[in-house]
């Protein structure tokens, strides 16, 4: 009888927020998980420790997804320590709200570097070396559909990610790899909460008909579906997980 090989998942930006919840959920689903982060080494190490206590295989790997060389090293380390990649979750992302007229060149570059180039770097690497039958889950945002003032640069990066998702799903024909995206509505993480007043947060919480902010686990469960066997026939789609906000 052949021994079942444990599948390997890379989750970018998994030291905190939604990515940390996705890593915990995929570990519970039976994946060996790679917790990628940019600077929060302590939080990434703590998550690795907590997951290992449950019997999961988990490692933390620092890599700025905006750097192609660091992303190559991320895949190198993953293959060396855990094996070839089956699931890639492109969760790492940043959001700074600013009116277009007030957006600096530096903010434009930083947002596109992390959100767009970051997803591009990992997808290109995945195309070269991911196992057939694998899953890629990208991160868009429901903000894209809302067209709120201040979100032009962020939304433009997520529009690019959705384009990558649709095209890459077709380019991987023959490899049995699905490429989908999840587009959360407002989720209670640093990315949303930092710098906002309690009134602003209450406003975001009141927007979905389900009348609350999303929690990281709400999104992690959707990623688990897209990364798991039940989503085998879902490909090239954007799943808007947002409590009905439109």
Q: How far is the CB of 158 from ligand NAP (least distance, A)?
A: 7
CB of 244 closer than 8 Å to CB of 215? no
| Catalytic choice (37, 151, 154, 204) | 154
Q: Is residue 169 a contact partner of residue 236, using CB atoms and an 8 Å limit?
A: yes
CB 238 within 8 A of CB 180: yes
Residues that bind ligand NAP (CB under 6 A): 12-19, 36-40, 64-66, 91-95, 114, 118, 139, 141, 184, 186-187, 189-192
Q: Please identify, using beta-carbon distances, which residue of 175 and 205 lies nearer to ligand NAP.
A: 205
Rg (CA), the chain: 17
Closer CB to ligand NAP, 5 or 148, in the complex: 148
Nearer to ligand NAP, 91 or 224 (CB): 91
Q: Half-sphere exposure (CA, 13 Å, Cβ side) for 136?
A: 34
Give the nearest distance from C-beta 15 to ligand NAP in angstroms. Answer: 4
Is 154 assigned a catalytic role?
A: yes
Measured from the CB atom, is 70 or 175 closer to ligand NAP? Answer: 70
In the complex, the smallest distance separating the C-beta of residue 222 from ligand NAP, rounded to whole angstroms, is 11
Instruction: Give the closest residue to 91 by CA, choosing from 178, 221, 183.
Output: 183
Shortest distance, position 119 Cβ to ligand NAP, whole Å = 9
State the Cα–Cα distance between residues 20 and 126, nearest whole angstrom: 21
CB of 213 to ligand NAP, least distance (A): 8
DSSP strand pairing (135-139 vs 238-239): unpaired
DSSP 8-class letter at 213: -
Token digits for 61?
């790997």
Question: Would you say 98 or 175 has its CB closer to ligand NAP?
Answer: 98
Instruction: Say if CB 98 and CB 92 are below 8 A apart.
Output: no
Active-site positions read: 154
């Amino acid at each position: 009888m052949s021994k079942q090989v444990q599948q390997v998942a890379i989750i970018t930006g998994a030291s905190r927020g939604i990515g940390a919840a996705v890593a915990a959920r995929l570990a519970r689903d039976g994946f060996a998980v790679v917790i990628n982060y940019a600077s929060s080494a302590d939080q990434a190490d703590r998550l690795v420790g907590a997951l290992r206590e449950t019997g999961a295989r988990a490692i933390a790997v620092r890599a700025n997804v905006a750097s192609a060389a660091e992303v190559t090293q991320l895949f190198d380390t993953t293959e060396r320590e855990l094996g070839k990649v089956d699931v890639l979750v492109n969760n790492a992302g940043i959001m700074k709200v600013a009116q277009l007229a007030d957006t600096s060149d530096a903010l434009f570059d930083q947002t596109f570097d992390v959100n767009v180039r970051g997803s591009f770097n990992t997808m290109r690497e995945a195309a070269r070396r991911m196992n057939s039958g694998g899953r890629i889950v990208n991160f868009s945002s429901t903000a894209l559909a809302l067209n709120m003032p201040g979100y032009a640069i962020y939304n433009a990066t997520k529009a690019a990610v959705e384009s990558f998702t649709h095209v890459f799903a077709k380019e991987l024909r023959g490899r049995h790899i699905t490429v989908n995206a999840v587009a959360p509505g407002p989720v209670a993480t640093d990315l949303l909460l930092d710098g906002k007043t309690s009134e602003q947060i209450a406003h975001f919480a009141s927007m979905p008909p389900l009348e609350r902010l999303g929690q990281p686990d709400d999104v992690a469960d959707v990623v688990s579906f897209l990364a798991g066997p039940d989503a085998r026939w879902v490909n090239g789609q954007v799943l808007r997980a947002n409590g009905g906000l439109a």
